Amino acid sequence: MLGRLQQQLTATYQADIEHDVRDYLITDPKLAKVLAGDSAVASSGETLLVSEDENGLALSLFLEREILNRLEQHDPAEKLREEQLDDLCKVIEGVSHFNYVVWRAEQDQAMTLLELELQAEIDKYVSTMQMALEQRDQDMLHGLHSHLFDNFRLRDDLDQEQVERYRAASEFAARFCRRLRRRLLAGGDSALAELRRFYRMPLGDKISHIHARSWGNS
């Protein structure tokens, strides 16, 4: 499943990377805490662990085994169920983080944490929309935006800076995806072209793009 999700994201953005996310997966929380050092391992069940020095980046993606087991038992690619969206989105978020960090590193480009979270929020919506479209699940297609963005919840263990960052990422992504929805439903290439351009913009241009256009004429 991880390989399939990674391939879906790289194909969507035409942003190939040379590293398989499965080679960096860990499911042991004790190992994750050791690798995290002073950094906290998220209680959400998903954390991308990043360390950088003069030799480059070291990465590990921690995902709780129970989350993966539940998704393997009921494959969302065959039938996307509302009750498994939270699990699926955690996995998509981890793969999105991994892909974006690696891709930007290969481009020798820096990024902010807000940019990373904004892209993950968009990727959750786009990936699940693509599954729902393939399954022709009308209920899921029409309720997905509300489920992901209107029912947005934050963990209790976040500090104020994290709360503000996650809220901003969700709000920007909600505006972006609300106008993108029509294009995705139409199944044309314009949505993919816009996603690919947006993926490559620096954060300031992304936010300006959302503010200025708000996709009002899309």
The pLDDT value given to residue 215? 46
The pLDDT value given to residue 213? 65
The pLDDT value given to residue 36? 82
Per-residue pLDDT tens digits for 154-189 = 877 788 998 899 999 999 999 999 988 888 888 768
Q: What is the mean pLDDT of the chain?
A: 90
The answer to whether 56 touches 106, Cβ cutoff 8 Å, is no
**Position 218 confidence tier, pLDDT thresholds 50, 70, 90:** very low
**Position 38 confidence tier, pLDDT thresholds 50, 70, 90:** low
Task: Give me the mean pLDDT over the 73-77 stretch.
Answer: 93
Return the closest-CA partner of residue 13 out of 21, 22, 5, 23. 5
The pLDDT value given to residue 188? 65
pLDDT at 146 over 70: yes
pLDDT at 216 over 70: no
In the chain, % of residues over pLDDT 90? 70
The pLDDT value given to residue 157? 77
**Percent helix / strand / coil, the chain, rounded to 5:** 65, 10, 25
Task: Give me the mean pLDDT over the 13-26 stretch.
Answer: 95
Which residues are CB-contacts of 55 (< 8 A; sequence separation ≥ 6)?
none
Task: Quote the pTM value.
Answer: 0.92
- With b meaning 16 or more CB within 10 Å and e meaning fewer, what string describes 18-48? eeebeebbbbeeeebeebbeeeebbebbbbb
The pLDDT value given to residue 204? 93
The pLDDT value given to residue 183? 83
The answer to whether 56 touches 44, Cβ cutoff 8 Å, is no
Task: Give me the mean pLDDT over the 68-84 stretch.
Answer: 94
| d(C-alpha 195, C-alpha 51), whole Å | 29
